[in-house]
Structure 1
Amino acid sequence: MHEMTVGSVGRIWIKKFSAPAYRIFSAGGPIFSAVAMLGLTLAVVPLLSKADYGYLAFCIALTVFGNGVINATAGTPLSILLNQNDVVRPDIFWPVVKVSTLISIGVAGILFVFGIAWERPLSSVAVLSCYGFLNGVRWIQRSYQYARHRPARAALSDLIASLTILAGVAILIWLRPESLIWPSVLLAVSIMAGFAVIIGRSDATEYPLGEQHLYPIREYRHVWREQSRWALLGIVTTEMAVNGHIYVVTTLAGPAAFSPIAIATLAWRPAMTIITAMTLLERPRLAAAMAAKAIERVKSIRRQLRYIFYSVFVLNLSLIACAMIFFKKYFDKGKYDITVIGTAMALWMCVIFVRTVRTQDSVFLQAAREFRPLAMTSVIAAPVSLVLAAFMTQVFNPLFSIVGIILGEITMTCLVIRLAKKVERGSV
């Protein structure tokens, strides 16, 4: 029998508590990011015109959509293909990076075109377009770090970016500048600060930049055929199903009409940011458990995700309730009616709750590589959301476009749950 020394006892306690602490820190970066973005969007409510605020919210929403597209084209393939074995795969990495970079350029281009069309200040449009590009480039690296089971590095990047935003928010509250260029520059600087810490020495060793020319972008076709085409279809149609009102309202009524909806949407952004982060964190672990046919471990991970998602929903709801109670006058300063804001937040609460119910089943289906049938659920739901959102906008009020999103969400959730039960029965 081995004698227990102080050192051995210490190592046991470190081993026992280091893993939970590591996981908490890994999830902490996205949490800080969500809080920082919420602080920024609330701080500029009384400072910006409705049109400027609507455009800023549109930019943030589109970059989040761009992150989702990169998750489909880079995150999902890397988390599965790089976990099938522990070898370096430059034939996968470099084509994926090149495709994702093109997507980032596309996001920047869309932001620029819409900003010019809506006659927003050119300097702000240019800076926000740069933000859209840089955000996509950083997200590529986040996806890779998660795929290689190094979430702490991604969390550190989120933390640095978030602290930069929070420092900028303090400056905005102090100076109170009524110009779109200030939050635009703040977003761009925060992304650059976060990007500076996300690339490690091991990445340069595994994938030297000088070798990227050996792996042309056309090699991505193998990843496209096997996985990402269905994942991308799912992301695009899901975006239309769950956020179609953004594009419908801004196109039909302009960014000013979207601004009160944007406040409600961004108020719920902490929940969706954390849920998305937990999805990226747990999907590789779930994929590994399914590859090992560890059924009980798969069930345990799914159960944990369900509890986490519901807890995040309740916490975000509590945060919004406090904000509506203690900062009522903050919203209603001649620009916004508190009743309109409250109605929008209540409607969006329904959207987030239905989405929360569905998400852990979606993660399970992604890990099970059921990309095509999962994509079909959003293909069916997207027309429901878009048609009803457009109808509500034209006939009633842009605010009630959210009703169309709720019905689209319910449609997709029912289809996803039914599909997950079918796959689960087949895997047992």
Structure 2
Amino acid sequence: MAEAQVAEQRPATGRIQRLGSVLGRFGLASLSSAIVSVSHLAVQLFSIHHLGTSAIGTLAFLLVIIQFGYGLSNALVSTPYTIAVNQGEEADARRFDFFFPVNLLLAASQGLLCAAIAWATASPAAALLFGLAGTFSLIRWFGRSNAYAHHAPMRAARSDLAYAGTILIGLTIAMRTGASLPAIGGMLVAASLIGMLPFGLAFLRRHGAMGPGRALRAYRPVWREQSAWTLVGVLSTEATSNSHSYIVTLLAGPTAFAPIAVGMLFFRPVNVCITALTQLERPRMTRAVARGDHGAAIKSERMFMAALVMLWLGTCVVAAIVLEFFPGLILKPTLDHQAVVLAVGLCALLSLVQCVQTPMSVMTQARRAFRPLAAQSLRSCGVGVVAVTLIVLGADPVLSIGGVVLSQLVMMLGIWRLDRQWRRTQQAEG
């Protein structure tokens, strides 16, 4: 009898240990990223109650662009840099200083794009401040990637805490004095600058370590080998994941995008944590694959997925509680309440697909299978753009999220097939 009880306790103990392992491994990165997400959520909640409907849509769209910049940085700078410095045990990081000026060019390009969008939809003051916010956000983001690439997660966490703390202080002041769209842009600028302090002046100086021309020449082999294909994947993935944001804003305007933006609010923490945990886990997977430890790489993939699904479940519980008991936090009379609830439900489904897909995608990148991954992304992109456009032209724009879900399912199944093929190959060889 006692032996039977011990046998029953062992699986439960094992599950608790595995859960503790997941929480311990991802706790620091998840917590700091979640705090950043909460600060962005607070910014958008503030905008809902203090800005007009058009300004709400404009702010949400600019935050989508900044998030897109994180994906571009991962494709063009962060992922290649992480792979380069983790290929060997004694990699000389100074050999890869050319990544820093390339990152500066990318950051400046995003700043110009944000400025152009804010100029067209808001005001010159908003254009100036969101242009700076777009630039500084990518410099800070590469600082986080650099910290994770060199296995210094505390540095990235300190940056996140400084960034989020600055935003929350700014919002506390704005609640007393009032704020406009340019003022929110100024908060993001200040937060990005203060968030760069943990990386030190040496990190900032390395962005001017060499001229842009020399840096681009040194970067050319990286572009040919991996970044070109990764960029195709990121662009097509962005078109797949956020096609509703671009198409609805283009065809129906910021006002029509506002209910979708509010529905997306709840799952911004999941999206930010997906991106941040990818930075944490990619070096681990890359190093495991490089040394031939495929079991460790697969275990990392499973733990990554478990962490994301737990985060998604928690977010769904919070969304349900807010919609049921505290709807005034996110709803205002000028917004269609039913449209917002529908948007939240569709965004939950979309977020779940992304949580399952991302670890398999990162594993595929760690195996340097950039070309087949890009092919899968292009296929799903075509499905998404066509589906979303048809829905926006013929139905309620909120339903366009369903077209994105369809395209992400196509992407997930394609990556799953690549992942299964690789695992079968490893089992046959092992």
* TM-score normalised according to structure 2 size: 0.89
Q: 1:143 aligns with which of 135, 142, 145?
A: 145
Deviation for aligned residue 1:329: 2.7
Query: Which one of the candidate residues 87, 92, 102 is aligned to 1:88?
Result: 92
Matched residue of 1:46: which SS? helix
**Alignment correspondent of 1:57:** 60
Q: What is the Cα deviation at residue 210 of structure 1?
A: 7.0
Unaligned runs of 5+ in 2: 1-19
CA distance, structure 2, for counterparts of residue 291 and residue 200 of structure 1 = 32
Cα distance in 1 for partners of 2:126, 2:207 equals: 32
| Equivalent residue number for residue 129 of structure 1 | 131
* SS at 1:212 equivalent: coil
Structure 1 window deviating more from structure 2 (308-317 vs 389-398): it is 389-398
Give a deviation string over 1:16-38, Cα, whole Å, max 9, x none: x9x98786334422121111111
CA contact (8 A) 2:53 2:334 kept: yes
Secondary structure of residue in 2 paired with 1:273: helix
Aligned partner of 1:70 in structure 2 is 73
8 Å CA contact 2:133, 2:189 repeated in 1: yes
Distance of 1:88 and 1:320 partners within structure 2 = 46
Aligned-partner Cα distance in 2 for 1:81–1:44: 41
Q: How many residues are paired up? A: 405
Gaps of 5+ in 1: 1-16
Deviations 1:158-215 (A, max 9, x none): 11001111222222333344x21221211111111101222376x58xx867742494
Alpha carbons 2:45, 2:329 under 8 Å: kept: no
Match of 1:117 among 111, 120, 127: 120
Residues 330 and 230 of structure 1, relative CA distance in 2, 3 Å threshold: same
- Residues 260 and 136 (structure 1), Cα distance of their counterparts in 2 relative to 1, 3 Å cut: same
Structure 1 CA distance for aligned equivalents of residues 50 and 138 of structure 2: 27
1:33-63 per-position Cα deviation (integer Å, ceiling 9, x unaligned) = 1111112111221211111111111111101
- Name 1:40's counterpart in structure 2: 43
Q: Whole-Å Cα distance in 1 between the matches of residues 425 and 305 of structure 2? A: 21
- 1:411 and 1:396 map into 2 onto residues whose CA distance is 22
Task: Look up the SS of the partner of 2:50 in the other structure.
Answer: coil
Give the structure 1 partner of residue 259 of structure 2. Answer: 260
Mean alpha-carbon deviation: is it higher for 371-380 or for 79-88?
Answer: 79-88
CA-based RMSD: 2.1
CA contact (8 A) 1:260 1:344 kept: yes
State the alpha-carbon separation in 2 of the partners of residues 330 and 208 from structure 1.
Answer: 43
CA contact (8 A) 1:27 1:155 kept: no
CA deviation digits over 1:246-287, x for unaligned, max 9? 111111111111111111123211011112111110110111
Whichever residue aligns with residue 146 of structure 2, its letter is Y
Identity of aligned residues (%): 30
Q: Please give the alpha-carbon distance, in whole angstroms, between the structure 2 residues aligned to 1:193 and 1:22.
A: 27
Q: Please give the alpha-carbon distance, in whole angstroms, between the structure 2 residues aligned to 1:30 and 1:117.
A: 31
Distance apart, 1:99 and its partner CA:
2.2
Query: Counterparts of 1:183 and 1:208 in 2: how far apart (Å)?
Result: 29
> Given residue 192 of structure 2, which amino acid in structure 1 is its aligned partner?
I
Would the alpha carbon gap of residues 22 and 357 (structure 1) be closer, same or farther in structure 2, given more than 3 Å must change?
Answer: closer
Cα offsets for 1:374-420 (capped at 9, x unmatched)? 11111001111111111111111211111111111111111011111
Q: Structure 1's 362 and 209: CA in aligned 2 closer, same or farther, altered over 3 A?
A: closer
Q: How does 1:8-407 map to 2 (within 5 A)?
A: 24-85=27-88, 86-94=90-98, 96-118=99-121, 120-177=122-179, 179-199=180-200, 211-213=209-211, 215-407=214-406
Contact 1:72 1:228 in 2 (8 A): yes
